[in-house]
């Protein structure tokens, strides 16, 4: 079939669609007229990858003119290797694929082969309105992996922390009171060490001051150890309600299991944070990113991991702002006109942006802009989002020109009002 088609129309533009599955993939190639050129069912392994490359080569794929590929997801080694060949790989949202499928048939019939053909046709007709995966450097991709893994671990740590708090409230509220102090929580090293040694109120009440001091030292605490030991001793020996003895022991075992999971999550988060910061420091863009207020090594790694270092990825600053969810979206129809914040966005970049702006608020120019937005009626979240929008525009410009952040240029209104000329 492929040979006959090439004889009839050599040089026709070919597009490829791949429908992803757990262990296998369906591949479809179509020409400019939308005619199926070739199809194949391949496995998700090295043999399947070689079969895919052979299928593309038979259709005219060359290093100088690679055939573009559309997929719904880019997970797996096969797609990582396909992306490394330098060809354009488009990741199409599954919801968009479903809408495209309805262009060709109104019946709700669905098959893997039909989805692969739909993906190929999306590139044939509307490649210009879809963005290929960015050509990020190897180091930028590594930073993205580390930063995302660290963020996932932090979210997992928070979930385990909430589970432990809810569990302790059922039988050991004194533990919550003992570690509800500023800068310390159940995920602190002190709390994990004490709860490991005394997971129930009966055992905690038997801990002596010397034992508590020893546990605090083993956790790594160096200051106010006697004060801490005295306060913990007072809390643990106070009057409290108890579950039945056997029930209390069972709940203590559950606490130990949760503490072990929390301890592993905390150590993993710290290890990944150090690895992400180390990789971030090696990247050329780290100097520009670090010049922005509120961006430290970990926040910088998260931001860089999401935006990458492919300068052609975002056409302008507005595209970056929309990607991060900082730019508002307008919904207009007839006499109806409304402006809302974006809900479809890169959630990881938006989360990193909130941490970024929160850390930047102590800078006078940033704080003045925040206060001005609040005075105009913005709520806290809206004012933070506006700041994020402004600093993203500055970041896009600085990365494109290789400049460091200058607050006087980023917030000229503040400089004009409070600068030497105003006095």
- Give dist(CA 309, CA 295) in Å, integer: 17
- Give dist(CA 351, CA 388) in Å, integer: 11
- Give dist(CA 387, CA 378) in Å, integer: 12
- 404 & 313 share domain: yes
The band of 11, judged by pLDDT with boundaries at 50, 70 and 90, is very low
- 323 & 391 share domain: yes
The band of 414, judged by pLDDT with boundaries at 50, 70 and 90, is low
Average pLDDT of the residues in 260-279:
96
pTM for the model stands at: 0.85
| DSSP β-ladder status, 15-20 and 24-30 | antiparallel
- 47 & 120 share domain: yes
Predicted pLDDT at 2? 45
Predicted pLDDT at 232? 94
Final residue belonging to a domain, choices 216, 244, 279:
279
* Least confident segment among 40-44, 293-297, 392-396: 40-44
What's the domain count of the chain?
3
- 247 & 333 share domain: no
Question: Which strands make up the sheet holding 24-30, listed edge to edge?
Answer: 36-43, 24-30, 15-20, 69-71, 89-91
Per-residue pLDDT for 422 more than 50?
no
- 239 & 333 share domain: no
- 161 & 231 share domain: yes
Which tokens in the block code for residue 234?
Answer: 């007072």
- 315 & 265 share domain: no
Mean pLDDT, all residues of the chain? 89
Final residue belonging to a domain, choices 279, 305, 328:
279
Predicted pLDDT at 101? 80
Average pLDDT of the residues in 6-30:
76
Question: What residue ranges in 52-124 does DSSP mark as E strands?
Answer: 69-71, 89-91
* CATH code of residue 79: 3.30.420.10
- Give dist(CA 279, CA 142) in Å, integer: 8
* Domain boundaries, position 215: 142-279
- 180 & 118 share domain: no
- 309 & 255 share domain: no
Final residue belonging to a domain, choices 248, 279, 310:
279
CA dihedral of residues 408, 287, 362, 183 (deg, nearest 10): 180
CA dihedral of residues 233, 237, 239, 242 (deg, nearest 10): 120
Predicted pLDDT at 97? 85
- 103 & 182 share domain: no
Per-residue pLDDT for 415 more than 80?
no
Predicted pLDDT at 334? 83
| DSSP β-ladder status, 329-333 and 69-71 | unpaired
For residue 89, count other CB atoms closer than 10 A to its CB.
Answer: 21
Predicted pLDDT at 21? 83
- 167 & 124 share domain: no
- Give dist(CA 329, CA 342) in Å, integer: 6
92-108 residue pLDDT tens: 888 888 888 877 777 67
The band of 325, judged by pLDDT with boundaries at 50, 70 and 90, is very high
Q: What angle do CA 204, 210, 213 make, to 5 degrees?
A: 80
Predicted pLDDT at 140? 95
- Give dist(CA 192, CA 262) in Å, integer: 8
Per-residue pLDDT for 9 more than 90?
no
Per-residue pLDDT for 273 more than 70?
yes
Q: Percent of the chain, pLDDT > 70?
A: 93
- 293 & 193 share domain: no
Per-residue pLDDT for 3 more than 90?
no
Average pLDDT of the residues in 191-211:
95
């Amino acid at each position: 079939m492929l040979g006959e088609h090439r004889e009839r129309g050599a040089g026709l533009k070919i597009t490829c669609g791949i429908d992803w599955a757990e262990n296998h993939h369906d591949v479809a190639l179509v020409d400019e007229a939308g005619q199926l050129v070739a199809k194949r069912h391949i496995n998700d392994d090295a043999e399947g990858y070689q079969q895919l490359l052979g299928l593309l080569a038979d259709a005219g794929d060359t290093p100088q003119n690679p055939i573009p590929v559309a997929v719904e997801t880019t997970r797996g080694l096969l797609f990582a290797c396909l992306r490394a060949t330098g060809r354009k790989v488009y990741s199409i949202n599954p919801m968009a694929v479903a809408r495209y499928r309805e262009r060709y048939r109104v019946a709700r019939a669905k098959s893997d082969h039909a989805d692969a053909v739909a993906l190929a046709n999306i590139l044939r007709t509307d490649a210009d309105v879809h963005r290929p995966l960015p050509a990020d450097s190897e180091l930028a991709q590594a930073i993205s992996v580390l930063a995302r893994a660290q963020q996932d671990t932090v979210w997992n740590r928070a979930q385990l922390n909430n589970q432990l708090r809810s569990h302790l409230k059922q039988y050991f509220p004194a533990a919550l009171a003992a570690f509800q102090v500023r800068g310390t929580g159940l995920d602190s090293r002190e709390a994990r060490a004490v709860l490991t040694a005394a997971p129930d109120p009966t055992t905690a009440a038997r801990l002596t001051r010397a034992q508590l001091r020893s546990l605090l030292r083993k956790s790594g605490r160096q200051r106010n150890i006697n004060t801490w030991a005295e306060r913990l001793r007072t809390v643990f020996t106070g009057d409290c309600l108890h579950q039945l003895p056997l029930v209390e022991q069972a709940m203590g075992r559950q606490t130990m299991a949760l503490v072990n999971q929390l301890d592993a999550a905390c150590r993993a988060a710290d290890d990944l944070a150090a690895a992400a910061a180390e990789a971030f420091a090696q990247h050329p863009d780290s100097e520009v990113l670090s010049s922005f207020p509120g961006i430290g090594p970990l926040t910088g790694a998260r931001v860089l991991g999401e935006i990458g270092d492919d300068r052609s990825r975002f056409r302008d600053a507005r595209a970056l702002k929309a990607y991060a969810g900082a730019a508002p979206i307008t919904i207009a129809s007839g006499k109806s006109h409304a402006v809302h914040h974006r809900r479809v966005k890169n959630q990881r970049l938006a989360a990193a942006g909130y941490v970024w702006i929160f850390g930047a608020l102590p800078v006078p120019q940033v704080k003045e802009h925040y206060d001005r937005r609040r005075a105009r009626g913005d709520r806290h979240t809206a004012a933070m989002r506006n700041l994020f929008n402004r600093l993203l525009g500055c970041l896009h410009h600085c990365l494109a020109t290789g400049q460091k952040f200058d607050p006087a240029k980023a917030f000229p209104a503040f400089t004009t009002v409070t600068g030497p000329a105003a006095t």
